[in-house]
Amino acid sequence: MIEAYGMINRSRYLCKRMPVSRAADNMDFWLNKLDEKRFTQDFRVTRFQFIQIVNLIPDHTIFFNMYNVPQTPSWCQLMVALYRFGCDGNGASIGKLARHFRCAEGTVELFTDRWIIALVALVDQVVTWPDADECAEISARIEDVSGFRQCIGLVDGTLFPFTEKPERDGADYSSQKACYWLAGLVVCDDHESIRYLYTGWAGCAHDARLMANCELQLCQVEMFHGDQYLLVDSGFAPDRNCSCI
C-alpha cells in the first residue's frame, strides 16, 4: 500500500498519455474569411462587435502568465468562449468543443473561465444607466417610432440556467420551466442595448418581487426625470415609473 501510494504521488498521470489527432487550425479562417452571417451564427456577435470586445481588454492580467510561456492569443480564447456560450445540451459537450477547436478539454474550460472574468470586469463600463440628456434622447426616439411619450426603455424578467441543482435551498431555484435558475431583470433601450441588470435572486422569485427590491424602485428620483417611465408586461405592478402594455 505504501509503495502504491509512493508511485501515485510521484506520477502526474495515472494512465499513459496517448497523443490525440487534431484537425487543422481554422481560427484565422473563422476570423477573416467566414462570411458575416455564419460568423454571427457561430459566435453570437458580429465580426465588428467581436473585435470591439477584444479591444476592450488589451491589458487584462488574466491573459498574461507569470512565466515566459505566452498564452494563446486572447481573440482565439474569445472564439472558444463565445462559441461555448451559444451552445446548450449535447452541443455544449466539452469534448465536442475541444475537437472543434483542436485543443484539450481542460483548455476549453480555461479559456471560458478567463473570458468570464474579463467580461465581468467590464460590466460597470458597458452597462450604464443613461443620464438626463441621454434619457431625453431615448424618449424622443421611442416617441417617433411608437408614440409612447416619455418612455426611456423596456424591462422584463429573465432566467439564467444552472447546469446542476444548487446544493443549498435547491428547490427555491426551480421554476415552471423544469430547470434550476437564477432570476434577473434586464432593462433595454430602443437600440437593444442593456442599460440595467439586476440579478441574484432564486428562480422562484417573481418579476414583481425583483422590481420591488431593485434600484428602479428604490432610487426612482435619481434614475427617472419628470414623467419618464419604462414599459413592462402584466407580470409587474404598474406605478408612476412603470407602464403596463
Task: Check whether 26 has a pLDDT greater than 90.
Answer: no
Helix ranges (H only) for the chain are 2-10, 27-32, 36-43, 47-56, 74-85, 94-100, 105-120, 123-126, 132-146, 207-213, 215-218, 220-223
pLDDT of residue 90: 86
Residue with cell 435558475: 181
Q: Tell which wins on pLDDT, 158 or 12.
A: 158
Least confident of 11-25, 93-107, 149-163, 179-193: 11-25
- The x, y and z cell numbers of residue 241, run together, are 415609473
Query: What would the pLDDT profile of 160-174 be if each residue is shown by its tens digit?
Result: 988 889 999 988 998
Q: Tell me what pLDDT residue 58 has.
A: 85
| pTM above threshold 0.85 | no
Q: Residues 184-195: pLDDT tens digits?
A: 999 999 999 999
Is residue 194 classed as helix, strand or coil in its secondary structure? strand
Q: How confident is the model at residue 23 (pLDDT cuts 50, 70, 90)?
A: low
Which DSSP state fits 172?
G
The count of other CB atoms within 10 Å of the CB of residue 25 is: 12
Query: For residues 75 and 40, what is the distance between their CA atoms, to the nearest angstrom?
Result: 15
